[in-house]
Every structure is written in structure tokens, then in C-alpha cells.
Amino acid sequence: MNSRPAQSMRRGSVVALSVLMVVLDQLSKHWARGTLLSGETRTFIPGLLKLNLVRNTGAAFSLFRDSSLILGILSLVVAVGVSIWIWREARRGLWMGLALGFLLGGTIGNGIDRWRLGHVTDFLELVPIQFPIFNWADIAINLAVLCFAIDAFSNRHEQSNG
């Protein structure tokens, strides 16, 4: 029997996390657009991370290139859907709450770029591996996937022990 109480997040905390992700994303992209030249590469963390400003008109891994309108609509639909999911319950388990906050923030962050600029601003490039250039919203979306997986594993583990 698990004697430790389950941690949870209130709806307001989930929304606050998503707002924080949007603010970090938009501020970092604003900084990148104002500081870096398109295609310019700067070492940020030697051997790990470079700064390289690019305009991405598609999704991850260059999927749906030149589809900003469709991806903008998709971002809006996902943001509305996740918002409804968040508002359905006043409290969520910790991992599900984190997942929803990260997903909403990342979706809105990239959606703002698509609607306002017609592309997403990407500027973070991993040095040791061949990986698409990304941004803070992408990090938030990937953290959401990780949190969804942890939540699913935790629930499955609890059910098998319960």
C-alpha cells in the first residue's frame, strides 16, 4: 500500500505554468530575432548548444513545410481542446497537470508565431547530434510528452499494485 499522498496541481497552477511557458518562449524568440542574424551561428554552450536563427514554416523535422496557415489553425484547435481539458477538473494529478500546462504553453507559443509572423522562430541547435533547430515552445511540448508518459506509467503501476 502506498502511504504517500498523491501530489496534485490546481487548475490555476496549470494555467500559470502555461502562461510562464508562453512568456519564456516569446521573450526568448524576441531576443533571438533582435540579436541574431538569419543563418548566423553562435556558440552558446561549447560542445552542446549553438544559437542559429531560422524561420520554420513547417512543423518538427520540417514536416508540412510552407503550411503555416494549416499549422496555425491546428495550434488554435489544440489550444482550445487542451484549455477545455484543463477546465474540466479543478485538480489534476501532478504529472497530468504538468503535461497539460507545458502542452498548452508550447502550443500557444508556436501558434502566436504562426499567426503573427507566418512562421515559427527557431534558434536552439544541439551540437553533438543531428537534430532540428528548436525553441522554448518545442521544449515545453516535449516536456509535456514526457509528463504524459510518466503519468501513464504511474497510473498503470498504481493500478497493478492496487
Total number of domains constituting the chain: 1
Please report, rounded to a whole number, the percentage of residues in the chain having pLDDT higher than 70. 88
Whether residue 13 is contained in a domain is answered as no
Whether residue 85 is contained in a domain is answered as yes
**pLDDT by residue (tens digit) across 82-103?**
999 999 988 999 999 999 999 9
Catalytically annotated residue among 25, 66, 113, 138: 138
Whether residue 150 is contained in a domain is answered as yes
Answer whether residue 2 shows pLDDT above 60. no
Whether residue 9 is contained in a domain is answered as no
3-class SS of residue 1? coil
Catalytically annotated residue among 25, 66, 113, 122: 122
Q: Is 122 a catalytic residue?
A: yes
Whether residue 162 is contained in a domain is answered as no
User: Could you give phi then psi for residue 141, rounded to 5 degrees?
Assistant: -65, -40
| CA 3/CA 36 separation, integer angstroms | 52
Average pLDDT, the chain: 89
Q: Is 66 a catalytic residue?
A: no
Whether residue 5 is contained in a domain is answered as no
Per the structure, the complete domain to which residue 59 belongs is given by 18-157
| CA 162/CA 159 separation, integer angstroms | 5
| CA 146/CA 39 separation, integer angstroms | 30
Whether residue 92 is contained in a domain is answered as yes
pLDDT at 35: 96
Answer whether residue 72 shows pLDDT above 60. yes
